[in-house]
Structure 1
Amino acid sequence: MRKIFLLSLFAVSLFSCSSDSSSTPQEQMYFPPNDGSTTWETKTIAELGWNQNAVQPLLNYLELKHSKSFIILVNGRIVMENYFNGHSASTPWYWASAGKTLTATVTGIAQDEGLLNINNKVSDYIGTGWTSAPLAKENLITCKNLLSMNSGLNDALGDDVSPANLQYVADAGTRWAYHNVYVKLQDVVATASGQSWTNYFNTKLRDKIGMTGGAWINSGDGLSVYWSTSRNMARFGLLSLNKGKWNGTTIVNENYFNQATTTSQSINQAYGYLWWLNGKTSYHLPQTQFEFSGELIPNAPNDMYAALGKNDQKIYVVPSKKMVVIRMGDAADDVTMALSDFDETLWTKISALYQ
């Protein structure tokens, strides 16, 4: 019953497999050029000493589970890149909530530039009345609370982030609940920078790592969803693997990135700044206040952190393997939230490549 219950919620995915020398290459990290070309260095399964016989079962499973794209990078080089069900390398697809990590990263960039401080209250930047909470309660909510999902606002009222729908439940910092109110950070960045969110995002992050052509598309309810090619998602994963550095250039401060991929509050060990974290002793999931024991994905490496979105949009980052894994597509099963048994089975098949 616990398994079925967990599958119906949401989640994150990561690695808990052991590291060995064959799966932790020591060669120099590679970054693809930012010139808009299709140039991207590759590494073969054979060159890594991986198990070629494990490739086809993985591909068969991905296609069966309604995937559109799948990429594995090791040390920045493409090891696998596959497209399914009519998708192609040039076709954009939505990130869903995996794009929350883009907002977390850009918030860190704005803090690096002295435009904001995540410890300041949200109303310092966008004014009061952005919620329907009593003013004293609204003023408890900091930018860090939005990054950490502990704003204290009601998570049971849907995706609408208009003031009337942002209602007080508990004091900020005392309750963890997955909530799209995080999007108010985009308003904070826009106001603090004096630019539109899209312009600041494009100039400070997208264009600096060559994520050409990606765009924020309004989905209603005050939310925008990021769309891009799978390779552009892989570029962001590679930036994240390198803790905010791109080919020697700091895009976001490493200290901030380390905070973002470390437990951000005392309630949900498996959550950083809009990143999900594997390898913790307990975790919370969306739509419940129950605390579950153990790791999010026990058969994935325990140092993995992940950006996860609806219908199984996924960025898995595994520092111990110097690996980034991308999956885009439709929901693998009837479960549309980010975590399902798809994650565990997928990682069983991925780990078969190198074990």
Structure 2
Amino acid sequence: MRKIKLLLGIALVGIIITAYFNYPKLNLMSGFASKNMASSVYIADRDPVDIILNDNDMPLVNLSNCTVSEADESAKATVYGLMPRTAVYKEGVGAVLTNKEFSKHNFELIPNRFITKDSLPFPYGNNGVTDTILENVDYDKLEVAFSNAFKDTEQKTRTLLVVHKNQIIGERYIRGITKDTPILGWSMTKSILSTLYGILEYQGKIDMNYKPFTDEILTKNLKSNITLNNLLRMQSGLSWDENYFKISDVTRMLFLDSDMTLAQKNKEVIATPTEIWNYSSGTSNLLSGILRGQFKNHQAYLDFPYQSLFDKIGMNSALLETDLVGNYVLSSYGWATTRDWAKFGILYLNKGNWNGERIFSESWVDYVTRPTQNSDGTYGAHFWLNSEGKYPDISREVYSANGFLGQRIFIIPSKELVVVRTGLKEQTDNQFNTLLKEIIQSIR
């Protein structure tokens, strides 16, 4: 009996220790579940049951119990009744995770949209698509690529769209998702952020050598030499832990912070600019804060992405979510339909020219696709590269906007191709290599 009591005591101590170290994680689990639910229901008009069974069906997050309140357009989640988190939606700025500071913030301002009616087909308008058959496309081979992308349910591909010569040559969606369903791009949003800076540069309003910390009073002024170029290339030398499987810098920022632009800004310097490359969502949100400072007021900041990019190229479904103080979360929270994500890729394929109107300079494409020092040829300026050949059967020229769970916009200039894949599971480099190879083989 004494031995049994001892074993039970050890087990109890083990449970207490495990609970102590894992209890804070509940904040992230219920935070992710409620935020993802609120955004998916109220931005994408999705079925809550479908979100529970699919979008939130991932390790730890699936332990959450999530409910939706239509009355105040919110979602609430707990983990076995513990750590309740609530996300509230507001038209125009998406859903935010509430916290103790929530009541202090003002959400009266929302972006103005600049949508005009048009009669043009995709991509330069939203009046359907052309049904012309391109003679240099082997549609049977293309069908093989599509079938392979969707046949294995473990791949969890949701949408796949292929554009050749500015025309859709292939498009497929799983049940419950349509051409009109906005898809969360996750870190593809970082490439949107980069583009906004490219637009400002083309307009002559900012320079990539700008040093945003120069005017601040800093200890030993260690941050004063950091430039926009360093930040866009993730080589600022600021400390950051990008780990989504524990309580880290990135999870604290996304699920606990009111002002997400400060998380990276307040980090210590661990290297001189360009000395190291360190992927950081905090850097992207720091850049969002710096972007906000380029405008005379908050309304102008809110309007800029829509006026100068989204609505100008017909990405009318696009929506950027904000944090609790109104900063765009440009690390992670950009939404658009698959067709509209493709338009973004087409803009780059056409080197910043949109149906005769220049959005950013041709040289900006060269800039974002130039390999960043110490990234082993994988990263440019908030775009991912194939310079080191991680896709061995694909040209080294290929570059992409990448997001969590396998969201991708591939730009393949020599083939005049844009490929958009969205899903609920990250794909291996080999899987993406095969997909792109099969698509390219359909182009004669």
State the TM-score, normalized to the length of structure 2.
Answer: 0.62
Structure 1 residues 115, 144: CA separation in 2 closer, same or farther (over 3 Å shift)?
same
Picking from 24, 28, 33, the partner of 2:124 is 33
The answer for the alignment partner of 1:114 in structure 2 is 204
Is residue 2:417 matched to residue 1:327?
A: no
Q: Does structure 2 retain, via aligned residues, the 8 Å contact 1:33–1:39?
A: no
- Secondary structure at the counterpart of residue 210 of structure 2: coil
Is residue 2:340 matched to residue 1:232?
A: yes
Structure 1 residues 255, 54: CA separation in 2 closer, same or farther (over 3 Å shift)?
closer
The whole-number CA distance in structure 2 between the counterparts of 1:134 and 1:123 is 12
Shift of 1:330: 0.9
Picking from 137, 143, 151, the partner of 1:55 is 143
Is residue 2:239 matched to residue 1:166?
A: no
- Secondary structure at the counterpart of residue 287 of structure 2: helix
Superposed structure 1 runs of 4+ greater than 4 Å apart: 219-222
User: Which amino acid letter does the alignment assign opposite residue 252 of structure 1?
Assistant: F
The answer for the alignment partner of 1:273 in structure 2 is 381
Shift of 1:61: 2.6
- Secondary structure at the counterpart of residue 190 of structure 2: helix
Structure 1 residues 308, 43: CA separation in 2 closer, same or farther (over 3 Å shift)?
farther
User: Which amino acid letter does the alignment assign opposite residue 290 of structure 2?
Assistant: V
The answer for the alignment partner of 2:390 in structure 1 is 296
Cα shift readout 1:95-153 (whole Å, capped 9, x = no counterpart): 111121111111011122232211011225xx637xxx845221121111111110111
Q: Does structure 2 retain, via aligned residues, the 8 Å contact 1:51–1:353?
A: yes
The answer for the alignment partner of 2:223 in structure 1 is 138
Alignment of 1:196-275 (within 5 A): 196=298, 197-218=301-322, 223-224=329-330, 225-265=333-373, 267-275=375-383
User: Which amino acid letter does the alignment assign opposite residue 233 of structure 2?
Assistant: S
Picking from 185, 188, 196, the partner of 2:290 is 188
State which structure, 1 or 2, has the greater radius of gyration over its C-alpha atoms.
2
Q: Does structure 2 retain, via aligned residues, the 8 Å contact 1:68–1:87?
A: yes
The whole-number CA distance in structure 2 between the counterparts of 1:344 and 1:332 is 13
The whole-number CA distance in structure 1 between the counterparts of 2:249 and 2:289 is 19
- Secondary structure at the counterpart of residue 135 of structure 2: helix
Structure 1 residues 139, 60: CA separation in 2 closer, same or farther (over 3 Å shift)?
same
Shift of 1:49: 3.8
Structure 1 residues 239, 89: CA separation in 2 closer, same or farther (over 3 Å shift)?
same
The whole-number CA distance in structure 2 between the counterparts of 1:209 and 1:308 is 21
User: Which amino acid letter does the alignment assign opposite residue 406 of structure 2?
Assistant: D
The whole-number CA distance in structure 2 between the counterparts of 1:316 and 1:310 is 15
The whole-number CA distance in structure 2 between the counterparts of 1:114 and 1:195 is 19
Q: Does structure 1 retain, via aligned residues, the 8 Å contact 2:145–2:439?
A: no
Tell me the percent identity. Answer: 26
The whole-number CA distance in structure 1 between the counterparts of 2:145 and 2:203 is 47
Q: Does structure 2 retain, via aligned residues, the 8 Å contact 1:243–1:258?
A: no
Unaligned 5+ residue runs, structure 1? 1-29, 283-294, 334-338
Q: Report 1 or 2 for greater relative contact order, CA contacts < 8 Å, sequence distance ≥ 6.
A: 1
Shift of 1:264: 3.8
Alignment of 1:307-322 (within 5 A): 307-322=401-416
Q: Does structure 1 retain, via aligned residues, the 8 Å contact 2:141–2:438?
A: no
The aligned length equals 299
Unaligned 5+ residue runs, structure 2? 1-120, 242-247, 254-259
User: Which amino acid letter does the alignment assign opposite residue 171 of structure 1?
Assistant: T
Cα shift readout 1:177-227 (whole Å, capped 9, x = no counterpart): 111112222222221122444311111111110100211124789734100
User: Which amino acid letter does the alignment assign opposite residue 425 of structure 2?
Assistant: A
Structure 1 residues 42, 190: CA separation in 2 closer, same or farther (over 3 Å shift)?
farther
Q: Does structure 2 retain, via aligned residues, the 8 Å contact 1:63–1:85?
A: no
Alignment of 1:48-87 (within 5 A): 48-50=136-138, 52-56=140-144, 58-64=146-152, 65-87=155-177
CA RMSD after TM alignment: 2.5
